[in-house]
Structure 1
């Protein structure tokens, strides 16, 4: 008879669920040399010297006897050098805490167990999570894999869960993340305190701490980058173009009201020269094209510039417009410039030179104006300026002079004054030393007669240096300038006519091109006549405006863009008005009466209470004094009540 079942018959326990628990890697007894700091290295050297004394003991002495002799010599204090070595090796604060025999023997045991490796004598750091180990683990950790992460023994199990919660675009605080992981983390993991989390996160480098909290260009601003050197190229070989919303209010060219204009600039990477610029009401292909035209223009009044070989830009609407970037009829292709946009948007570091120049040129210039609205402007002063502009605008509207005056407030620059201001700003920038250019020993640019000093070259000086060495910019002739920079658009001819920008054009020479596509070149300011070419750019004819069913006169591209902008703004305002009206439209609010079912007992009770109230009202009332009589009569007279029932 068996009193106990066999082992094969015993019920088996289910395996522990470890899918959500990080795996720990045991910590090595011998730390890497790169993980040691200077203090640890001094302590290792001191402990190694004491153990060497034990190894060099006399042949008739044991390890314990040699260690006891060393402790006695230290306690005696006769050998000052030995006392100093022992104090360094012990690494204890206070003079009373001397080296003990068990401590020395413990070092000897560790030293022998690790095959006499000196690094095994390193003291344990005050921090339980070494920074170097933490960084090495963070470098390979995949976000979202907290349940399967492999952790070194020194890293707490809650660390991956906390990082996954903390490194989110919503940027939660340490306290918020700690509360969330305390609820969601597996129960087998010990919950950390706020101070524990703070100490560990303090050791995490910013590039790992902010990964996930920042994305795209914002995160890349923390990373290293490669500096592009264009000094080996000729001027205008590589240029960058970018638009910038001017950070100050100026007068609108049409209405005179305050608004933020769009400024577009072209920078030469070799000489850092501001080769061309333009300004417009908003970002558009016309502003970009005009800035490019200004950069290509070289004449007696503008001695710098030329056609860029390569033009880099972001993927903005104005830069990527087909009228500029088309490989056959686009503006850049016709002039001979290779346009290279970035492969994806949201990467301003790919054209950092022009992005940085926005701060050096336009933001610095805007700070000279009272109407500056940058993020570093004082909020109170900015609000006062805005209120003043609004009051002046209302006064002009009340006087019915909106669109008649050049500017609605004395704080504003008129459009003509603003363009002159930009011209002066561009000249000042091109005549200021640039730290990316070589150094020379000459007087300051603002004081040519002053003492010569060693400083960086200005863009104008760098450009002049290249010209003196034989450089000649490539630029179109003035006679071809207008034709080359006229926008080219493909259209289909039908019965000797075609439609462009809402205008109808006609020419007898187009009879042979019925139902065929041709290319039309037009001036955005003078729409009366356009030039027509075939796809081989052979001139066909000059087509004239014949008539338009929409407008009684030809509408230029500028006016058409203004009308489209006006329609878009009206639609946006109409949507806002509809939303405001929807909030107060009672027709959309369905009001339902609230019915509550009650039991019979409650209904009987309410009937009984109502009968009591009616009886009390019908009962004659007796008063204690004349004041109560007067108050009761006044109350009944005011509310038309009877004191005594009929």
Structure 2
């Protein structure tokens, strides 16, 4: 009950309830509105005598209108008509003003008067409190609850009219009903971004998105959804780089960004990315060896839980879903939230029976590449009828200035010892490293091949190419393969823990014997019955022979 009272208090602080809004329209009206009401009263007051003498309100109003139109009214009436304006002096309005004057209702003569003051039934505050809970009860549910709690004069129609008249902060989409975070995202203002001063290619916005369709996994052939990592230029809407992987990771981010840099030989000044580990890991953001610092790329971190800040790329992913994924492979493998649930449920059965066929990952890549080329050459309203490709043609490239093959090579800091460096449980040797013994160097490596690394001093100058001389344990030749093995071991461990939990749940925590033993150990729930009264006070009656004896 305390929580309900607190909610009611908060609701009262947010906005006055409609029953308390303008309880007396005349008292809350402005001086100008009251003056208009006074002029209307003075205009129709002479007609009251006609009505009192037997004339109808309709005839009295029509008579005044005819006199005003013909200019036959007295100077006072003509002056009042000019003050009020001829547009509002219609027969229906004169009838309404005359009726209000006869009833003594001054408020009805006010401009924009909407009707009588609503009666307060006493359940309004409680209705608002019930309506503004996260369960989102309906009007009928609130009315039923009010009746159950003993409130009088409650009907569904009254509750519905009252709740529909609530201010937006207490209505259907109030923060209490839909949650403050969603209310802030969908109902409150947000800061719009301007790209007027931004140059083409100056900022890349990056994010990952799981494709809304199934393809065959390259290794298992089972259905899976690839992860699409994209970097888009917000100024032009052009997508300079993208990458498809099994899951979003630091490596997929680096490959997508390096693909954009290799494809167009251009280094952006800024990247606008999430604050998650896939975009802010040490491999990318380290001050000395990170991918961003190597190319002097500034990082703008999007605020958590604020999709408006990434509207450019979120809108692009929506376009990919609607324009490409829904039609890929004839639309038979689409799995978005608006896909027919029945079709999604039957995917596994249809695949097993051959009614549907999974496209390969290469088919998806080819289809997406073809669609993206089409997208780049379609005029867009936000670009004033120009295409993203036409806008991208205005790019003034900032050259990468290094070997294109080296762009996607990550770096890590290592210490030289005995002309060798140790990296990821691998040892690399070069005679020139004798000059750097016990010193820290930056080691650049290839994710696909581990037979060599490239050594740079702390000033970024190339030193030597070191060869692999030894491995600790059994390691694959590719660091990507090593990562896949590590991920596989983690998956196996998690599955083993799940199997152990299932085995443990197989045994009932309480057997039937345990339950019977527990029941026997319980004492009597009721006190023992009192002893019978003494035999002298007992009256013995034989019910079978009592009637015959009588």
Calculate the TM-score normalised by the size of structure 1.
Answer: 0.64
Residue in 1 that maps onto 2:290: 330
Deviations 1:126-153 (A, max 9, x none): 672xxxxxxxxxxxxxxxxxxxxxxxxx
Mapping 1:48-87, distance limit 5 Å = 48-52=39-43, 54=45, 67-69=48-50, 71-72=52-53, 74-75=55-56, 77=59, 80-82=62-64
Name the CA shift for 1:515/1:31 in 2 (closer, same or farther; >3 Å): farther
Residue in 2 that maps onto 1:254: 219
Residue 374 (str. 1) matches residue 336 (str. 2): yes
| Cα distance in structure 1, aligned partners of 2:245 and 2:320 | 17
Partner of 1:319, secondary structure, is: helix
Mapping 1:330-349, distance limit 5 Å = 330-342=290-302, 344-349=303-308
- The answer as to whether partners of 2:411 and 2:445 remain within 8 angstroms in 1 is yes
Partner of 1:196, secondary structure, is: helix
Deviations 1:199-251 (A, max 9, x none): 22222355653213234356412334444332443211122111110011112
Deviations 1:499-548 (A, max 9, x none): 43343334444456555543221111111111222332233332322222
Deviations 1:134-177 (A, max 9, x none): xxxxxxxxxxxxxxxxxxxx877654554444434444445555
| Cα distance in structure 1, aligned partners of 2:274 and 2:158 | 45
Q: Which moved more, 1:154-163 or 1:237-246?
A: 154-163
Partner of 1:524, secondary structure, is: coil
Report how far residue 281 of structure 1 moved. Answer: 0.7
| Cα distance in structure 1, aligned partners of 2:380 and 2:371 | 15
Select which of 146, 166, 190 maps to 1:204: 166
Select which of 191, 200, 221 maps to 1:235: 200
RMSD: 4.0
Mapping 1:353-502, distance limit 5 Å = 353-369=312-328, 370-389=332-351, 411-438=357-384, 456-464=385-393, 466=394, 471-477=395-401, 480-502=403-425
- The answer as to whether partners of 1:240 and 1:313 remain within 8 angstroms in 2 is yes
Mapping 1:292-303, distance limit 5 Å = 292-298=257-263
| Cα distance in structure 1, aligned partners of 2:154 and 2:338 | 40
- The answer as to whether partners of 1:276 and 1:305 remain within 8 angstroms in 2 is no
Residue in 2 that maps onto 1:306: 266
Select which of 400, 405, 428 maps to 1:505: 428
Mapping 1:175-194, distance limit 5 Å = 192-194=154-156
Report how far residue 363 of structure 1 moved. Answer: 4.4
Partner of 1:543, secondary structure, is: strand
Partner of 2:514, secondary structure, is: coil
Deviations 1:601-624 (A, max 9, x none): 99xxxxxxxxxxxxxxxxxxxxxx
Select which of 562, 574, 584 maps to 2:496: 574
- The answer as to whether partners of 2:203 and 2:268 remain within 8 angstroms in 1 is yes
| Cα distance in structure 2, aligned partners of 1:172 and 1:101 | 44
- The answer as to whether partners of 1:263 and 1:278 remain within 8 angstroms in 2 is yes
Deviations 1:578-634 (A, max 9, x none): 2322221247768242316689x99xxxxxxxxxxxxxxxxxxxxxxxxxxxxxxxx
Name the CA shift for 1:532/1:171 in 2 (closer, same or farther; >3 Å): farther
Residue in 1 that maps onto 2:70: none
Report how far residue 25 of structure 1 moved. Answer: 7.9
- The answer as to whether partners of 1:334 and 1:484 remain within 8 angstroms in 2 is no
| Cα distance in structure 1, aligned partners of 2:486 and 2:63 | 90
Partner of 1:418, secondary structure, is: helix
**Unmatched segments (≥5 aa) in structure 1:** 1-19, 58-65, 93-97, 112-117, 129-153, 299-303, 393-408, 439-455, 603-646
Report how far residue 340 of structure 1 moved. Answer: 0.3
Name the CA shift for 1:556/1:26 in 2 (closer, same or farther; >3 Å): same
Partner of 2:287, secondary structure, is: coil
- The answer as to whether partners of 1:503 and 1:547 remain within 8 angstroms in 2 is yes
Name the CA shift for 1:357/1:576 in 2 (closer, same or farther; >3 Å): same
Q: Which moved more, 1:174-183 or 1:353-362?
A: 174-183
Partner of 2:271, secondary structure, is: strand
| Cα distance in structure 2, aligned partners of 1:268 and 1:126 | 58
Mapping 1:617-636, distance limit 5 Å = none
Report how far residue 459 of structure 1 moved. Answer: 0.8
- The answer as to whether partners of 2:426 and 2:468 remain within 8 angstroms in 1 is yes
- The answer as to whether partners of 1:266 and 1:276 remain within 8 angstroms in 2 is yes
- The answer as to whether partners of 2:212 and 2:335 remain within 8 angstroms in 1 is yes
Name the CA shift for 1:390/1:167 in 2 (closer, same or farther; >3 Å): farther
